[in-house]
Structure 1
Amino acid sequence: MNKLVLYDQHDFKGKSKQFVRNMPDLANEMFDNAAQSARVEGHHWVAYTDPNYKGEFIIFAPGDYKTLGCNFCHKLSSLRLVEEELLNPEIDLYEHVDYVGKAQPVTEKVDNLGRGKFNNLVSSHKVKQGVWILHQKADQTGERLITYKGDEWPNYGDKWNDKLTSLRPLVNSYTERLDGSPDAWVRDEHKSVAESRGSSSFLQLLTGDLWSADTSGTMSKIALYDQPNFKGEAKEFLANEPDLSEKLFEDTAKSARVEGQHCIAYTDPNYKGEFIVFGPGEYKTLGCNFNHKLSSLRLVEEELLNPEIDLYEHVDYGGEVREVRKKVDNLQRGNFNNLVSSHKVKRGVWILHEKVDQTGERLITYKGDEWPNYCDKWNDKLTSLRPLVNSYTEVGPTPCVLLQRGQ
């Protein structure tokens, strides 16, 4: 049974009132501005300082509250029982009023919308699932509002328009200090978030101390952290991510942990720009070339054994062809230097370079790729290449430009 018992004295003493459903005005129960302690069973309750669920609020998790503190003692005027399902929370944020402009779906806690280039841009929202707490400042601070499944806010008005900076869903383990600020984001909450996504989820909220080093399975994953040394907010990815801004983590990562297979991280969305190859392991810093610069991720799922690439002398796979199955530091030794204009990757993943000994500008290409025309930037310039192997990793690579097809 879900219930909230309010007491008019500290330590559960004095007159009390029990509530099992929403109460828009405690004055109707002769208990307005009376409570000084509380006991909660079952679901969360939200208590407001004004009637009709307005004013400041505090969220009561199940438990005992010997005092409500100076911010809420003798100040509660309405109560709302949280009956919404808290699993799979989702809210859609909109750039303009009336749900127009850029839309950003959010399914988990976000400490700074600026990381997804959506900070101070929100003017309306719709709650699809769960209960959400929205804040005007980063890290769940500043003025806040609470919104429930089915709520549609077409216009934030002057007080909130273009001011939303952080938000979080209410989860089963959530609790607050009596000043209304969130308690430590406890470990059980991380478990709840993960369970709410299901085992097939590719994104899970973590903190550095919750990383599991268990690599006994075959699952590949990368966890990115917004601080060096695996600290700060983090996100875990189990599948390709073409645009980290959609997960509110673009240009944010400063350290990483990788399990399973390699991961290729790019500085631009859609697997473009400069790239770095992460082998399985820990990266306490991404270095000056890649800190705060990653925008997309591709997990390497290709089989790396028996790599093979066919290099063609002319565009559209014409002219002389060379089959390559291993690292080549200088194609000139095979009289094929600066002659390649197209290629097909039969197996594996290959890194191609414009200069000898795997230096100069480079591109990366995957099994099944067919490049019919290198165009002016790369035509007749390929000089060295290597297959990606299980032991390959990069530490502090120099900036390299990834050539895209058609360039």
Structure 2
Amino acid sequence: MNRTLKHALVCAAILLSHAAAQAGEISLYTDVNFRGRVVVLRDASDDLSRINFNDTASSIRVSSGTWEVCTDSQFNGQCRTLGPGDYSSLDGMNDKISSVREAGRDGGGSGGGSRPALELFSDRDQRGASAPVNADRDDLVAIGFNDRANSIRVERGYWQLCSDANYNGSCRVFGPGSYDDLGRDLNGRVSSARLVDPREANRPRGGDNLVVLYARSDMRGPGLSVNRDVRDLVSMNYNDQASSIVIHEGTWEMCEGSQYNGKCEVMGPGSYPDLNSLDKSISSLRRID
């Protein structure tokens, strides 16, 4: 074998081994807590039905790389970005995942390009220091950007930003676009951010804070402001938490099941310091007048 060919083969082998080392790996499990049948992926799958794993995954382990998982084939529907780590339950996406791909690699990411899914800026009008976010962050202290954001750019997905860690406090959902400031409740106060279902996009109905749910009786404890119908409070990290309510406007139906199912009660404007049979049981609410 001549020296030139031998050198070329050695270089190719080095490049291939380097690419393999950089490739990501994700494991999907049929049951929560990494139990049941498992499939390990190192390449994108635009339709998991091809490997008999559509709408099947209930927990995920990301060994390496950053991965995008979506509820529809072809990387459509609700998508979530997952970095390395263990996800024992998928919080609203259990048994719904239909496509998976590694973000940042060829064909990966929603919309391509090098921009992060969400970018936080310390000053208004997308100026000042910035921090990229591509996965759920329950505490922005970890990336050195707690209580710093005053404007954002959303490249892809719908992101819920909250004033407290663990998606508590004042929260608002932002869809794709640039936001020159975050409003009175969030400017300089953002402490957590996560991807949510697009249906949870913030669309006020006649005013802000139409309903405020409180975690303790007598309007005490962590609160959640609501100005739209909410089919499932799990998506807002407030399921089965409310113990008192203030309704500023409208007549609302409060239900113990998601999708407005189960036992429901109708409440008009006023303060409700305790909820009796609905205490710690509300899972959905909607305005009915």
Shorter-chain TM-score category? 0.3 to 0.5
TM-score, normalised by the number of residues in structure 1: 0.28
RCO greater where, 1 or 2, for CA within 8 Å and sep 6 or more?
A: 2
Greater Rg over alpha carbons, structure: 1
